[in-house]
Amino acid sequence: MSKKDGIYIIRERKHNSKAFTWVFVGIFSIIAIYVPFFGINLQYQVGTFFHFIFSKVGELCMWAGGILLGFSILGTIYSKKIYLKSIAFGILLLWIGAFLTGQAFELLGFQIGEQPPQGYH
Task: Give 32's pLDDT tier (boundaries 50, 70, 90).
Answer: confident
The amino acid sitting at 77 is I
> Is residue 19 a part of any domain in this protein?
no
> Is residue 31 a part of any domain in this protein?
no
Domain housing 87: 52-121
> Is residue 102 a part of any domain in this protein?
yes
Instruction: Give the residues across from 111 on adjacent strands.
Output: 106
> Is residue 101 a part of any domain in this protein?
yes
Distance in angstroms (rounded) separating the CA atoms of residues 45 and 36 = 15
pLDDT at residue number 65: 93
Please count the other Cβ atoms lying within 10 Å of the Cβ belonging to residue 103. 18
Q: What is the number of structural domains in the chain?
A: 1
pLDDT at 67 over 90: yes
